[in-house]
Structure 1
């Protein structure tokens, strides 16, 4: 018979399992809106974009710019695979702004963000 046991699942274990980058998360309000960014090209720049709209846009398969399809798929992967948000929720505007700069998007500490969301249910 096994006695009670403790389980430890810290950032270290999360990082080892996921391979995602950890670091300080900057103020997400700092990501500026790009006048002709993906948020404007694909969603008219409006404030609320649902996951259902994001998925529909990906399924349409039409892109105005070279990397729009990649950016839309990155948004879907972050929100529906890593975070597993339900489709009734919205894509955070700061993420739509962040994905317009793929270098900054790739450098973002997604491990810290996803861990926080997974463990504490943080709304972002």
Structure 2
């Protein structure tokens, strides 16, 4: 259960564990994940720049694609280009492991842009993005669920 601590920052959560206060913040997240932190430009994840002949177009005709459809496509092992298995695997990895998406949710369009450009993908500050999502969903769960239980989405 989340507790209130006077010196808590807006980007961390404190828990009560026995007689101790335990913090979950960027430092703890970084220690566990070793993911890069940095500035995320909002326009990067809010706008999708369509590029012709990209993986999303080849396999999904640029339509919104749910995670379960991506899993099925990946399992078919019928790839058109040599780098496509890696790109599809990266989209799966981010969606299922990093973000922890439900299989019925759509893959964000901006993610296709990143898996198409591997240097861009590798330089993205995944730690900042995933930490902010994890923190948001943790705070949301604590705020709306009370003592019933928690559904945590994101990296946990």
Q: What TM-score results when the alignment is normalised by the length of structure 1?
A: 0.89
The alignment yields a C-alpha RMSD, in angstroms, of 1.9
Distance 1:53 1:61, change over 3 A: same
How far, CA to CA, are the matches of 1:83 and 1:45 in structure 2? Answer: 21
Structure 1 runs (4+) greater than 6 angstroms displaced: none
In the alignment, is residue 104 of structure 1 matched against residue 126 of structure 2? no
TM-fit CA distance, 1:32: 2.1
Q: Indicate the structure with greater strand content.
A: 2
How far, CA to CA, are the matches of 1:40 and 1:25 in structure 2? Answer: 26
Whether the aligned pair in 2 keeps the contact of 1:34 and 1:100 (CA below 8 Å) is no
Structure number with the bigger relative contact order (C-alpha 8 A, sep ≥ 6) is 1
Task: For structure 2, list consecutive stretches of 5 or more residues without a partner in the other structure.
Answer: 1-16, 141-156
Residue of 27, 33, 42 corresponding to 1:18: 33
The structure number with the bigger radius of gyration is: 2
Task: For structure 1, list consecutive stretches of 5 or more residues without a partner in the other structure.
Answer: none
Q: What TM-score results when the alignment is normalised by the length of structure 2?
A: 0.72
1:1-124 residue pairs with structure 2 within 5 A? Answer: 4-26=19-41, 27=43, 28-29=45-46, 31-46=48-63, 48-121=64-137
Tell me the matched-pair count.
Answer: 121
